Amino acid sequence: MKTYNSMQRVLASLGHQEPDRVPFFLLATMHGAKELGLGIKEYFSRAEHVAAGQLRLREKYRHDCLSGFLFAPLEIEAWGGEVIYYEDGPPNSGQPPLGSPEEIRHLVPPRLEDATGLQRTLATLRLLKQESGDQVPILGVVISPFSLPVMQLGFATYLDLLGERPDLFRRLMTVNQEFCVQWANAQLDAGATAICYFDPVASPTILPRELYETTGFQVARETLARIKGPTATHLASGRCLGIMELLARTGTAAVGISSHEDLAEVKSAAAGRLSIIGNLNGIEMRRWTPHETQAKVREAISKGGEGGGFILADNHGEIPWQVPDEVLMAISDAVHTFGRYPLTPNSTP
Amino acid sequence: MTDPMLLNRELETALLGLNKVATRRIYKESGLTPTGFAEMVFMPVLDSIGDKWEKGEVALSQVYVSGRICESLLNELLPAEGSDLKITPPMAVAVLEDSHLLGKRILCSVLRAGGYQFTDFGQQHLESLVTRVHSENIRILLVSTLMLSSALRVKELRRRLDTAGLKVKLIVGGAPFRFDASLWKEVGADATSPTASGAISIIQRLIREVEDENL
């Protein structure tokens, strides 16, 4: 059988074809720091570190993407928010930069050129592109205009705003969309192959479908249409089944799946309209044995792999720092052993 | 009094429809006292809504708003001095090393709607949390986390509390505990619940245990 490079493998699968094997993304944003012997804060302080970390991880685990994503609160830092670093986890956002919803009236999007953290992401993407050319997909990430307010305002204040202040909600979406489109297109210009549209608030885990349809769905449709490259939507461990048909209509090509949903059921609901990415449980993964890891990978492949349209990954889009290298290696070994197309009964646990 | 099953169904519909007016009307027509209504209607209905969220049948925003509506109505109905609140061992709620407060906010609403007395410690670092637990003689502590690294810090919290000789029942909740069903045991908690309303039956059990220890 023809051997594919990572770009060909991923594109074939997203085209609902079976390449040589199931593609897989190890979205280990922090493990590069371990590879370089650095702490998390120091690792994220330079684009050269992150690019080197990503390249080493791919060489070690033979997975099918590189990621220019550093961490989510970099976006909120650009809006004047605070980033809090931890020694053993991803940086977190601190107090929301908007003290009150009324501040939305005067809100303007930050300029990309003024945001040093975002510039570091763009520099990372350029380095990754320089090193990998067109052989490997490079992922860029944006927080959706609809989900960013969780960090801009705080979750409870945002839910109150959604229900009670349609005027301020609309203005906030307009401002956030301008930023999101610029940020996504800048990442594509810097070398990203595709953009992950991170939209956890869209999930039926967080909002009723009816409310999403009149709010976040419209925002996604408008925003994705202005992003000049392919997109995949990630709900960050949230369920997607209840809005599958809406997600397909946003123009996204793929969706990240929660470990709380059955992969076979989601694959069936996607029905060739969307590819699916997931859904290994990143939190549990921390304590999997090699045997359990292999069984989980085989189960996911057996449920999602047939006919392509499937990329194996974790369920959140960010593998926890605590997941040991042995587990990542066991995932890789299992995909390379049991993920070869055509899948056989031996692929299933 | 209206049939309790019917009452609960009506209230659940009102809450999921975010209908404050209907919620108030259902209370008035129930003929129950505020605390009776909290115990017999609010609690089972919030519990049912929490279960539905866990099964993927309703959304977190509905859980949040339902809790707020119940909390707000009960705050209006109960005497300001809180004389009708349940007498419990000192109890507190905190978010450990995180700025994401929605989980704690929902938990506080459920506890208030259930008529429980507790202290909201807000966001806490490990050191300050141990200090407050000590100084306020807390016997039941509910800790909410969002990040895995914060959830794992509960292990150190447990160790510090034990080292200080503080007899505290520790209930943990939040996303990491929902995605790893055995994490609460690993960090040395006494219990966990996937939903805020599910914490109520755990609290009732732990209150009895604390009272037994005090005998």
pLDDT of residue B115: 85
Using only C-alpha atoms, what is the Rg of chain A? 19
| Closest residue, chain B, to A316 (C-alpha) | B179
Calculate mean pLDDT across residues A205-228.
97
Q: Are residues B10 and B64 in the same domain?
A: yes
Q: Are residues B66 and B98 in the same domain?
A: no
pLDDT of A97 above 60: yes
Q: Are residues B100 and B30 in the same domain?
A: no
Q: Which of B15, B43, B77 is the last residue of a domain?
A: B77
pLDDT of A131 above 90: yes
Q: Are residues B164 and B111 in the same domain?
A: yes
Q: Does B180 touch chain A (CB under 8 A)?
A: yes
Q: Are residues B24 and B113 in the same domain?
A: no
Q: Are residues B64 and B128 in the same domain?
A: no
Calculate mean pLDDT across residues B57-85.
82
Q: Are residues B95 and B73 in the same domain?
A: no
Which pLDDT band holds residue B38 (cuts at 50, 70, 90)? confident
pLDDT of residue A264: 96
B180 to A207: CB separation less than 8 angstroms, yes or no = no
Percentage of residues in chain A having pLDDT higher than 90: 96
Calculate mean pLDDT across residues B27-33.
89
Q: Which two tokens stand for residue B179?
A: 């995605």
Q: Are residues B23 and B118 in the same domain?
A: no
In a domain? residue B49: yes
Q: Are residues B18 and B72 in the same domain?
A: yes
In a domain? residue B85: no
In a domain? residue B84: no
Which of A84, A206, A242 lies nearest to residue B61, judging by beta carbons?
Answer: A206
Q: Which two tokens stand for residue A93?
A: 């956002």
Which pLDDT band holds residue B35 (cuts at 50, 70, 90)? confident
Concatenate the DSSP letters of all residues of chain B into one string.
---HHHHHHHHHHHHHTT-HHHHHHHHHHHT--HHHHIIIIIHHHHHHHHHHHHTTSS-HHHHHHHHHHHHHHHHHHS-TT-TTSBP-S-EEEEEES-S--HHHHHHHHHHHHTTB--EEEEEE-HHHHHHHHHHTT-SEEEEE--SHHHHHHHHHHHHHHHHTT---EEEEESHHHHH-TTHHHHTT-SEE-SSTTTHHHHHHHHHHHHHHHH-
This model's pTM is above 0.90 = yes
CA of A72 vs chain B CAs: smallest distance (Å): 13
For residue range B185-207, list pLDDT tens digits in order. 999 999 999 999 899 999 999 99
Q: Which of B22, B55, B77 is the last residue of a domain?
A: B77
Calculate mean pLDDT across residues B2-26.
89
pLDDT of B51 above 50: yes
What mean pLDDT is reported for chain A?
96
pLDDT of B74 above 90: no
Domain that holds residue A220: 6-347
- Total number of domains constituting chain A: 1
Q: Are residues B113 and B210 in the same domain?
A: yes
pLDDT of A173 above 70: yes
For residue B107, what is the domain's CATH number? 3.40.50.280
- Total number of domains constituting chain B: 2
CB A239 within 8 A of CB A258: yes
In a domain? residue A334: yes
In a domain? residue A161: yes
pLDDT of residue B81: 47
In a domain? residue A151: yes
Which residues of chain B neighbour A207 with C-beta distances below 8 Å? 59-61
Query: Judged by CB atoms within 8 Å, which residues 121-140 of B form the interface with A?
Result: none
Closest C-alpha to A275, from A332, A232, A236, A224: A232
Cα(B22)–Cα(A96) distance, rounded to whole angstroms? 34
In a domain? residue A1: no
Q: Which of B77, B110, B136 is the last residue of a domain?
A: B77
Which residues of chain A neighbour B100 with C-beta distances below 8 Å? 92, 155
Q: Does B102 touch chain A (CB under 8 A)?
A: yes
Domain that holds residue B199: 91-214
Q: Are residues B109 and B64 in the same domain?
A: no
pLDDT of A345 above 90: no
For residue A107, what is the domain's CATH number? 3.20.20.210
Which pLDDT band holds residue B75 (cuts at 50, 70, 90)? confident
A156 to B58: CB separation less than 8 angstroms, yes or no = no
pLDDT of residue B40: 87
Interface test with A, best of B126, B146, B148 (most A CBs within 10 A): B148
| Closest residue, chain A, to B56 (C-alpha) | A205
CA of A209 vs chain B CAs: smallest distance (Å): 9
Return the H-helix or E-strand segment holding A166: helix A166-190
For residue range B139-175, list pLDDT tens digits in order. 999 999 989 999 999 999 999 999 999 999 999 999 9
Calculate mean pLDDT across residues B13-29.
92
A231 DSSP β-pair partners: A195
Concatenate the DSSP letters of all residues of A187-211 into one string.
HHHHT-SEEEEE-GGGSTTTS-HHH
For residue range A278-334, list pLDDT tens digits in order. 999 999 999 999 999 999 999 999 999 999 999 999 999 999 999 999 999 999 999
pLDDT of A69 above 70: yes
CB atoms inside a 10 Å sphere around CB A346: 9
For residue B43, what is the domain's CATH number? 1.10.1240.10
In a domain? residue B104: yes
Which of A206, A261, A287 lies nearest to residue B59, judging by beta carbons?
Answer: A206
ipTM, 2 dp: 0.93
Q: Are residues B58 and B134 in the same domain?
A: no
Calculate mean pLDDT across residues B108-116.
89
Which pLDDT band holds residue B213 (cuts at 50, 70, 90)? confident
A311 DSSP β-pair partners: A277
Residues A57, A58, A60, A62: is their CA dihedral positive or negative?
Answer: positive
